[in-house]
């Protein structure tokens, strides 16, 4: 009887071990996972899986988020590590990653060399206050990853900051943006050729120095440069993916408008950043605050934009939610006294839409922005992306503006209005502006004109300075796009540019990953304080009571079972 029982036990043990071995073999042959979260936060999208499974060359990812951090940064690091582990499960040996601390074990001189090297790569540090036994210490960290494939590499920003957001919200936004950031970078560095982005010139547009950081930032994933529409051939336009018309100041000829039109008809994408009113802060400063006439520009683009479904108005928007500028308020001991004051004509546009192009984007700094209206056109979907705050006021051009305006405290009653649209996205098919019109003279190498476009996209922003970087007065060097040298604050202009180009050139739907949401489930701090002692007692006493009851039950059970 005993031998039979032993045989049964051995058989069950053998079956159990065989089942474990079989499950391990099957798990190695077929990868899968189960995600029981409501928002599927641990599920990789099909677009990402397709990118990972079709990598043509090995991809290496170095994450510089390593070391001793507060709990929030540890969560960001762990989320990044979990995501990349999933990536490797799909990509296999074609993807490798490592977490490193770039300044660990280095002396002061070596750390400075690392900082300079990181800056040259476009990787910006973050100053972090870390609690130690002796108090708070400042630590420079790099919440950035570098994705490389062959000779191509680009930096991935892991921390998504946003004005007005709590640290928990910033962290949550950063975690939910990780998949898009890494998938987009992997796709770009793995692509055989980079899409071309051309910034127009020849009409007083922003100069190379004013666009320096915009062009530099785009070169990581695109071929970015300047184009002259007057001499541009059809073959050159055909190789272009996106055309950016950045703050023109002089009139476009019909020949140039025709090239823009046919570029759009053949599926090209366009970003318009247009100032309809001539107003300039530097001119007012050079004239020591004298009055300036803000007058209408003559760009000869109104009819073309109207045909496509949008109109930029000849006005200026004053907004109480605005940036500050330095103004001299007098002299003390022969030294000018500079004070930062709000300038109503530099509105700060805070994105509130959930559109993937601007979701969780930081405030965007503008200068002398106009309002815009959309026009009813068939086959085109129009999405208002950005608006002013409700505390705004319109000034029709021509109008007089002066730096003396800063002395007047704005009356809130005069700055109460509905938010004004300043940026619109148009998607669909567009009617040609040259429909039933003669082809302008000078067009020779273009094919027969198209009367209706292929499906394409267009972005219109009623501010020409949106992609303009500030320039140092000391050495003439360019500051990063979106950085304000006066307030030392960085706005979301650069991220908006990169997101806009990504959205316009994305044919796979990868940009939709920016819409991924992870619900923030925070503890109620009020209840946490009020019920702290209660829950401490529950968590401490109940396990002990259950353990004692289990011991008593076991003692009674054994006593009855083995009693004589």
Taking residues 293-309, what's their average pLDDT? 93
Q: Is 60 exceeded by the pLDDT of residue 140? A: yes
Number of neighbouring beta carbons within 10 Å of residue 305:
20
For the ranges 159-163, 355-359, 514-518, the maximum mean pLDDT occurs at 355-359
Greater pLDDT, 173 or 93: 93
Task: Report the Cα–Cα distance between both ends of the chain, in Å, rounded.
Answer: 24
Q: What is the pLDDT of residue 373?
A: 94
Number of neighbouring beta carbons within 10 Å of residue 185:
25
Greater pLDDT, 283 or 260: 260
Taking residues 162-183, what's their average pLDDT? 76
Taking residues 14-32, what's their average pLDDT? 73
Separation of CA 82 from chain center: 22
Q: What is the pLDDT of residue 117?
A: 77
Q: What is the pLDDT of residue 420?
A: 94
CATH code: domain 194-292+301-313+351-393+419-490 is 3.40.50
**Count of positions (residues) in the chain:** 564
Taking residues 383-409, what's their average pLDDT? 88
Q: Is 80 exceeded by the pLDDT of residue 131? A: no
Would you list the DSSP string of 505-560? H-SSSGGGGGG---------HHHHHHTHHHHHHHHHHHHHHHHHHHHHHHHHHHHH
Topology (CATH) of 33-189: Glutaredoxin (3.40.30)
As a whole number, the mean pLDDT across the chain is: 84
The DSSP H or E segment spanning 117 is helix 108-120
303-353: pLDDT as tens digits:
999 999 999 999 999 999 999 988 876 666 667 677 888 999 999 999 888
* CA separation for the pair 164, 96 (Å, rounded): 36
Q: What is the pLDDT of residue 196?
A: 92
Q: What is the pLDDT of residue 32?
A: 62
User: Which of 47-51, 357-361, 370-374, 523-527 shows the lowest per-residue confidence on average (mean pLDDT)?
Assistant: 523-527
Q: What is the pLDDT of residue 159?
A: 80
Q: What is the pLDDT of residue 520?
A: 54
Share of the chain above pLDDT 90, in %: 34
Phi, psi of 35 (to 5 degrees): -115, 110
Closest CA to 357 of 385, 335, 331, 334: 385
Q: What is the pLDDT of residue 68?
A: 73
* CA separation for the pair 408, 427 (Å, rounded): 43
Taking residues 280-296, what's their average pLDDT? 78
Structure confidence at residue 288 as a pLDDT band (50, 70, 90): low
Phi, psi of 92 (to 5 degrees): 70, -140
Phi, psi of 183 (to 5 degrees): -65, -40
- Cα radius of gyration (the chain): 30
Q: What is the pLDDT of residue 530?
A: 77
Greater pLDDT, 329 or 541: 541
* CA separation for the pair 334, 339 (Å, rounded): 16
Structure confidence at residue 157 as a pLDDT band (50, 70, 90): confident
Structure confidence at residue 135 as a pLDDT band (50, 70, 90): low
- pTM, full prediction: 0.75
Greater pLDDT, 503 or 526: 503
User: Which of 133-137, 141-145, 334-338 shows the lowest per-residue confidence on average (mean pLDDT)?
Assistant: 133-137
Structure confidence at residue 5 as a pLDDT band (50, 70, 90): low
- Contacts by residues 110-119 (CB-CB < 8 Å, ≥ 24 positions apart): 115/140, 118/142
User: Which of 400-409, 511-520, 531-540 shows the lowest per-residue confidence on average (mean pLDDT)?
Assistant: 511-520
Q: What is the pLDDT of residue 53?
A: 86
User: Which of 115-119, 313-317, 421-425, 535-539 shows the lowest per-residue confidence on average (mean pLDDT)?
Assistant: 115-119
User: Which of 39-43, 184-188, 498-502 shows the lowest per-residue confidence on average (mean pLDDT)?
Assistant: 39-43
Q: What is the pLDDT of residue 454?
A: 92
Closest CA to 227 of 215, 216, 217: 215
* CA separation for the pair 368, 351 (Å, rounded): 18
Structure confidence at residue 132 as a pLDDT band (50, 70, 90): low
* CA separation for the pair 194, 241 (Å, rounded): 10
């Amino acid at each position: 009887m005993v031998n039979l029982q032993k045989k049964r036990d051995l058989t069950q043990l053998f079956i159990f071990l065989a089942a474990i071995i079989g499950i391990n073999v099957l798990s190695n042959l077929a990868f899968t996972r189960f995600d029981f979260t409501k928002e599927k936060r641990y599920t990789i999208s099909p677009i990402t899986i397709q990118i990972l499974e079709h990598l043509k060359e090995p991809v290496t990812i170095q994450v510089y988020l390593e070391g001793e951090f507060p709990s929030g940064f540890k969560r960001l690091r762990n989320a990044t590590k979990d995501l990349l582990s999933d990536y490797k499960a799909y990509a296999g040996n074609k993807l490798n990653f490592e977490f490193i601390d770039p300044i660990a074990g280095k002396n002061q001189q070596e750390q400075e060399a690392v900082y300079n090297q990181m800056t040259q790569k476009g990787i910006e540090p973050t100053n972090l206050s870390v609690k130690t036994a002796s108090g708070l210490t400042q630590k420079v960290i790099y919440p950035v990853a570098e994705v490389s494939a062959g000779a191509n590499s680009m930096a991935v920003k892991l921390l998504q900051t946003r004005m007005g957001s709590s640290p928990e919200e910033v962290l949550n936004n950063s975690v939910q943006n990780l998949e898009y950031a890494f998938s987009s970078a992997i796709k770009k560095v793995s692509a055989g050729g980079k899409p071309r982005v051309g910034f127009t010139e020849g009409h007083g547009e922003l100069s190379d120095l004013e666009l320096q950081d915009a062009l530099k930032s785009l070169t990581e994933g695109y071929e970015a440069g300047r184009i002259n529409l007057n001499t541009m051939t059809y073959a050159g336009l055909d190789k272009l993916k996106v055309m950016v018309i950045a703050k023109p100041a002089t009139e476009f000829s019909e020949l140039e408008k025709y090239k823009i039109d046919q570029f759009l008809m053949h599926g090209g994408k366009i970003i318009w950043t247009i100032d309809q009113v001539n107003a300039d802060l530097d001119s007012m400063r050079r004239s020591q605050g004298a009055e300036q006439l803000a007058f209408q520009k003559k760009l000869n683009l109104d009819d073309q934009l109207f045909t496509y479904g949008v109109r930029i108005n000849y006005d200026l928007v004053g907004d109480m939610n605005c940036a500050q500028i330095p103004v001299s308020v007098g002299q003390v001991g022969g030294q000018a006294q500079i004070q930062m004051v709000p300038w109503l004509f530099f509105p700060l546009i805070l994105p509130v839409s959930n559109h993937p192009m601007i979701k969780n984007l930081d405030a965007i700094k503008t200068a002398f922005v106009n309002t815009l209206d959309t026009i009813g056109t068939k086959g085109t979907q129009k999405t208002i992306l950005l608006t002013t705050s409700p505390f705004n006021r319109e000034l029709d051009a021509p109008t007089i503006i002066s730096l003396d305006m800063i002395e007047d405290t704005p009356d809130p009653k005069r700055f109460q209005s509905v938010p004004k649209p300043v940026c619109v996205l148009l998607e669909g098919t567009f009617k040609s502006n040259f429909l039933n019109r003669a082809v302008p003279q000078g067009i020779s190498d273009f094919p027969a004109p198209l009367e209706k476009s292929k499906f394409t996209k267009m972005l219109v922003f009623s501010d020409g300075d949106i992609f303009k970087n500030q320039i140092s007065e000391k050495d003439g060097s360019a500051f990063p796009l979106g950085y304000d040298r006066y307030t030392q604050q960085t706005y979301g202009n650069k991220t908006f540019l990169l997101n806009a180009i990504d959205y316009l050139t994305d044919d796979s739907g990868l940009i939709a990953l920016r819409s991924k949401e992870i619900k923030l489930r925070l503890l109620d701090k009020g209840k946490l304080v009020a019920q702290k002692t209660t829950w401490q007692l529950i968590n401490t006493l109940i396990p002990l009571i259950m353990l004692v009851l289990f011991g008593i039950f076991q003692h009674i059970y054994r006593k009855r079972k083995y009693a004589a």
